[in-house]
Amino acid sequence: MDKDVVDKDVVDKDTDKRTALVTGANRGIGKEIARQLAEAGLIVHIGSRDADDGQRAVDEIGANARLLVLDVTDGVAEAAEQIGRLDVLVNNAGIMTTGPDVEGFRRAYEVNVFGVVAVTEAFLPALRRSASPRIVNISSGLASLEWSSTRFPVDAASVAYRTSKAALNALTVLYAQALAGAGCKVNALGPGPRATAMNSFAGGDPAEAAEGAVRLALLPDDGPTGSFVAWDGTPIPW
Ligand code: NAP
C-alpha cells in the first residue's frame, strides 16, 4: 500500500465524528481554535506549513488532533487529497507585512487572499460531503472600511494587510452566496487585538478570540451566513 492510501485510511477511520481543518494552527489564535474544536469533540486537522511545529501542536492538543502539513501558498491541492470529508474549514493562516511597497502587498495577498481562495477551492469537494458545512474566515476589524474612515485611520505601514483582509471580507460575501445552496455558512471574524507573534504579544487572550471562531464553526442550520462579527458576536460594519 503506498503512503497516500495509508494516510487517507488514517483520516477516514474517524468519519463518524465531525471534522475540521484550521490553517496556521501550529500557534497563536489558530492553535486555540483547534484546541477548542477538539475539546468540542471534532477531529481537527492541524494545518501547519512546518511538520515539526504542527506535530508539537498536535501533541499538545491531544486525542482529536491530526497533523496536516499545509502551506496555503503551495501544494494545497495535494494536501486536500488526504481529507475525505470536512465539516468545518477555518481560514486562519495570515501574515502582516509592513510598508506600502508592491512587494509587501504581494506577500500579504499571497497568504491572506490567494491562500484562502486556494484552500477554499481545494477543500470544497470535502466540504460538500458534509451535511452542514461551515467556513470561518479570520479577518480583522482593521479591514472594516467604515472603521477605517472613522475609528482606525489607515496608516501606510499596515495598508497591505488591511486591504488584504478587506478582500477576504469580500470573498466571505461571495462564498456565502455561492455556497448557500449547499447549506454552507460562510462568515468572517474580527478577533480583536490578541497576544500573538503577529501582534508582538500585545493584546487579549487568543483563547477568547477562538471562542468566537468556534461559535461560527458550530453554527446551527438556521444561523447567519455572510456576516462579519467580533469575537463576542457583535456585528462589525463592512
Ligand atoms: P501568528 O501567531 O503569527 O499566527 C499566524 C499563523 O499563520 C501561523 O501558524 C503561521 O505559520 C501561519 N501562516 C503564515 N503563513 C502561512 C502559509 N503560507 N501557510 C500556512 N500557514 C501560514 O498570528 P495570529 O495572531 O495567531 O494570526 C491568526 C489570524 O488572526 C491571522 O489571519 C491574523 O491576520 C488574524 N488576526 C490577528 C490579530 C491579532 O491581534 N493577533 C488581530 C486581527 C486578526 P508559521 O508558524 O509557519 O509562520
Give me the mean pLDDT over the 157-174 stretch.
Answer: 97
3-230 CATH fold: Rossmann fold (3.40.50)
Does the structure show a pLDDT above 50 at 6?
Answer: no
Task: Please report the pLDDT score of residue 5 as a whole number.
Answer: 38
Asked if residue 7 has pLDDT above 80, the reply is no
Active-site annotation holder among 140, 158, 164, 227: 140
| pLDDT for the residue numbered 35 | 98
Instruction: Looking at the CA of residue 161, tell me the nearest atom of ligand 1.
Output: 34
Cell of 116: 484562502
Domain ranges of the chain: 3-230
CA atoms within 13 A on the CB side of 223: 23
Q: Would you state the pLDDT for residue 15?
A: 60
> Per-residue pLDDT averaged across 144-155, rounded?
95
Query: For residue 133, what are the CA distances in angstroms to 9, 18, 44, 126, 154?
Result: 22, 10, 14, 9, 35
| pLDDT value at residue 49 | 98
Instruction: Answer whether 8 contacts ligand 1 (Cβ < 6 A).
Output: no
Rounded to whole angstroms, the Cα distance separating 172 from 117 reads 10
Active site residue 3: no
**10 has a pLDDT exceeding 50:** no
| Global confidence as pTM | 0.95
Mapped onto helix, strand or coil, the DSSP state of residue 205 is coil
pLDDT tops 90 at residue 66: yes
CA of 11 to the centre of ligand 1 (A): 25
